[in-house]
């Protein structure tokens, strides 16, 4: 991953400096990474992303109702595609850089970007991440959930699923007020994962979202406090920690070029929400 170019906060000529302007300029003067003005969404844009998030949440609810032992991951993809299209939206993954399906289904040791197919049949006790991104009227909302097939798995896998959820919520809690740094999120998430005997994937991260599938900033799930980009009101981004039972290292399946698997092929779990930073901390736009 290459180094980021240094951003600069653009002052609007003739306009009085706001409190946000002053806080961003102060951080920039201290050498911190700050957003560009283009990363700040308007109220109208945030409302559009919120509407996309409503559909995205309903899709994941539907998957929760229908997922069970004996179905294929392709059937899950069909649920996602049909619901999305029926509600006037589009599945963002379909055709993205050649991705062939409408969602990602990542089973057990697959960390992310698993491609749904007719031959992968879910069994009781499998843990599955279903990751959906919905485009509605040009606005993007992105979320994923873990599902335990059949409702019960072994205790260590269940702990992994639970800790991954806790990591997402801890990241959210860090953002309970604006003007925190991406590194603050990563530091808190990694501490919790490590305390529970798990590792945090480093090769993939959360990201800005809303007007495109992937925007700045990168939201790493490990890091140092006070590092990474400053998060200010109007920014929309995902937190999506990928937590592994064993090593944090991963590899990409050479056959399809997409499926990311834990290096030691031990299970992995991930949860994801899209958030907007407000004057009072983050609001969840997807569930």
The pLDDT tens digits along the chain (287 residues) read 233 445 688 877 878 899 999 999 999 999 999 999 999 999 999 999 999 999 999 999 999 999 999 999 999 999 999 999 999 999 999 999 999 999 999 999 999 999 999 999 999 999 999 999 999 999 999 999 999 999 999 999 999 999 999 999 999 999 999 999 999 999 999 999 999 999 999 999 999 999 999 999 999 999 999 999 999 999 999 999 999 999 999 999 999 999 999 999 999 999 999 999 999 999 999 98
**What residue spans define the domains of the chain?**
26-284
CA nearest 226: which of 5, 34, 12, 3?
34
- Whole-prediction pTM value? 0.95
CA nearest 219: which of 230, 234, 208, 211?
208
Helices (DSSP H) in 67-131: which residue ranges? 73-86
CA gap 210, 97 in Å, rounded: 18
Q: Which residues contact 261 (CB under 8 A, 6 or more apart)?
A: 109, 110, 111, 250, 251, 252, 253
Q: What is the CATH number of domain 26-284?
A: 3.90.230.10
Asked if residues 105 and 14 have their Cβ atoms less than 8 Å apart, the reply is: no
């Amino acid at each position: 991953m290459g180094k980021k170019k240094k951003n600069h906060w653009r002052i609007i000529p003739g306009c009085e400096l706001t409190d946000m302007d002053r806080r961003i300029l102060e951080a920039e003067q201290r050498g911190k990474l700050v957003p560009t003005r283009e990363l700040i969404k308007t109220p109208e844009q945030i409302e559009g992303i919120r509407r996309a998030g409503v559909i995205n949440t309903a899709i994941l609810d539907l998957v929760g109702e229908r997922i069970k032992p004996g179905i294929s991951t392709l059937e899950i993809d069909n649920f996602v595609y049909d619901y999305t299209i029926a509600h006037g939206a589009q599945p963002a993954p379909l055709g993205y850089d050649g991705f062939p399906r409408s969602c990602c289904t990542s089973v057990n040791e697959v960390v992310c970007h698993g491609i749904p197919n007719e031959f992968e049949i879910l069994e009781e006790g499998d843990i599955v991440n279903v990751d959906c991104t919905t485009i509605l009227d040009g606005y993007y909302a992105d979320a994923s959930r873990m599902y335990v097939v059949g409702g019960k798995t072994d205790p260590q896998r269940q702990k992994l699923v639970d800790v991954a959820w806790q990591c997402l919520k801890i990241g959210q809690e860090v953002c309970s007020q604006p003007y925190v740094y991406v590194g603050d999120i990563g530091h808190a998430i990694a501490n919790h994962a490590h305390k529970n005997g798990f590792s945090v994937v480093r090769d993939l991260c959360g990201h800005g979202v809303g007007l495109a599938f992937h925007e700045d900033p990168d939201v790493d799930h490990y890091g140092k406090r006070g590092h990474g980009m400053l998060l200010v009101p109007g920014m929309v981004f995902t937190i999506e920690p990928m937590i592994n039972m064993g090593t944090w290292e991963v590899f990409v399946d050479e056959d399809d070029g997409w499926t990311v698997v834990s290096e030691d092929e031990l299970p992995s779990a991930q949860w994801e929400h899209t958030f907007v930073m407000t004057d009072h901390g983050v609001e969840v736009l997807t569930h």
